[in-house]
Amino acid sequence: MKTKLVALATAAVFAAQGALAQDMVFTSWGGTTQDAQMAHWAAPFTEKGGPAVVADGPTDYGKIKAMVEAGAVSWDVVDAEYDWALQAGKAGLLEPLDFTVIDKTKLDPRFVSDFAVGSFYYSFVLGWNPANFTGDQPATLADLFDTAKFPGKRTFYKWSAPGVIEAALLADGVAPDALYPLDLDRAFAKLDTIKADIIWWEGGAQSQQLLASGEAPIGFFWNGRLAALAADGMPVGISWDQNITAADALVVPKGAANKEAAMKFIAEATSAEGQAAFAATTGYAPINLGSADLMDPAVRATLPDAQTAVQVNADMAYWAEHRDEIGNRWYAWQAQ
């Protein structure tokens, strides 16, 4: 009896391992974003003969580091922040991407690097609730920092990431081409002028709640979040003036079990079709240059794609280099 049980258990373990060896694991942040990624990237990938894709998550950098250190990596493709991806690539946590499988000629060069390609990109934009401002409506980043002209709480992304520091410098009059290297002293001095009026948002959903309820009538948001509010019938003001781009990246942790399948998956995810379908569902912009032609012009108009003329690109390489230093100062400043 006992040996039978052991045999059964062993068989079960092997069966599980067999399944793991075949299936590919894709990790992202969960919620509707990951659902869309599964629907528009994973499903076609499997249909075209690729292995089944299992969704895991949420993305956790600590987990990736521990996996790589232990040499037991269970995630094959991970959706991560782009600046983190560049830094992690340098730190040896990621596999170099195989560009014989992934066709980088079709991809937006802003979001291609040795260890990471864009998953999608988005812009930080000025948004406001028109119900709270009767006269002039905000238009520029300077207005975002002008509490005399536009009084009330303003909401900003809480975590140390490309976006808010750039906005402070631009609002202070720094020219877009002179942003880098970032003058942190100047940025924090500018942020200090409105610090008492800042409410931080920790996740996209919270930013929407703050704006919709009027708790923070003005703020700096991910464009897709404002588009979703508008699509739901909420009155929302959006100014694309000096919208600041940031991106998520697709990466393969070092030592991933299904490296080959992972590269093919990324090729599928960054294809013109995959990117177009995902962008239409989520309001994020595609990083494949061919996607625009596949999309409904009405949808395209709401994406950062259509706003490149007034766009400022956050320098991901600079961020990757200085991520720790900026992060430490950022959190210290917040806590003061």
Partner 1 sequence: MLSAIAARRRGSGLGFAMPAILLLLAFFVVPVAALLTRSVTEPEPGLQNYVTLLGNSTYARIFFNTFFVSAVVTLITVLIAFPVAWALAIMPRRWAGVIFAIILLSMWTNLLARTYAWMVLLQQTGLINRSLMALGLIDAPLQLTNNLVGVTIGMVYIMLPFMILPLMGVIKKIDPAILQAAALCGATKAQALWRVLVPLAAPGIASGALMVFVMSLGYYVTPSLLGGTANMMLAELIAQQVQSLLNWGMGGAAAFVLLVVTLGLYAVQLRFFEPGEGR
Partner 2 sequence: MLLDFNKLGAWKWALSGICALMALFLLLPILFIVALSFGSSRWLIFPPPGWTLKWYEELFADPRWLGAALTSAKIGVIVMVLSVALGLLASLALVRGKFRGRAVLRAFFLTPMVLPVVIVAVALYAAFLRLGINGTLPGFVIAHLIVALPFAIITITGALETFDPAIEDAAILCGASPWEARLRVTLPGIRHGLFSAAIFSFLISWDEVVLAIFMASPSLQTLPVKVWTTLRQDLTPVIAAASTLLVALTVILMIAAALIRKGKSE
**Contact residues: partner 1, CB under 8 A:** 60-62, 65, 84, 88, 91, 153, 158-160, 199-200, 202, 209, 213-215, 323-324, 327-328, 331-332, 334-336
Minimum CB distance to partner 1 smaller for 154 or for 264: 154
What is the nearest approach in angstroms of partner 2 to the Cβ of residue 230? 12
Instruction: Count CB-CB contacts under 10 A for residue 94.
Output: 26
Q: Residue 107: what are its φ and ψ, rounded to 5°? A: -95, 150
What is the nearest approach in angstroms of partner 1 to the Cβ of residue 20? 24
DSSP 40: I
Minimum CB distance to partner 2 smaller for 193 or for 209: 209
Of these, 57, 255, 290, 327, which contacts partner 2 (CB under 8 A)?
57
Q: How far is CA 234 from the centre of its chain?
A: 24
What is the nearest approach in angstroms of partner 1 to the Cβ of residue 324? 5
Q: Which residues contact 318 (CB under 8 A, 6 or more apart)?
A: 180, 181, 182
Buried b (16+ CB within 10 A) or exposed e, 283-293: bbbbbbeebbe
Minimum CB distance to partner 1 smaller for 192 or for 202: 202
Part of the chain binding partner 2 (CB under 8 A), chosen from 141-149, 172-180, 188-196, 199-207: 199-207
Asked if 193 touches partner 2 (CB under 8 A), the answer is no
State whether residue 263 is helix, strand or coil.
helix
Size of the site for partner 2 (CB under 8 A): 33
Q: x/- site string to partner 2, residues 70 to 109, per CB under 8 A?
A: x-x-x-----------------------------------
Minimum CB distance to partner 1 smaller for 193 or for 281: 193
State the amino acid at position 2 in one-letter form.
K
Asked if 38 touches partner 2 (CB under 8 A), the answer is no
Of these, 44, 46, 50, 63, which contacts partner 2 (CB under 8 A)?
63
What is the nearest approach in angstroms of partner 1 to the Cβ of residue 305? 29
Instruction: Count CB-CB contacts under 10 A for residue 101.
Output: 13
Give me the helix-helix angle, 316-335 and 184-192, nearest 10°.
Answer: 40
Give one DSSP letter per residue of 159-187, joined into a string.
SS-TTHHHHHHHHTT--GGG--S--HHHH
Asked if 200 touches partner 2 (CB under 8 A), the answer is no
What is the nearest approach in angstroms of partner 2 to the Cβ of residue 1? 22
Minimum CB distance to partner 2 smaller for 43 or for 66: 66
Asked if 66 touches partner 2 (CB under 8 A), the answer is yes
Buried b (16+ CB within 10 A) or exposed e, 14-42: eeeeeeeeebbbbbbbeeebbebbbebbb
Cβ 113 vs Cβ 86: under 8 Å: yes
Q: Point out which residues bind partner 2 (CB under 8 A).
A: 25, 29-34, 54-58, 60, 62-63, 66-67, 69-70, 72, 74, 202-206, 208-209, 212-213, 229, 232, 234
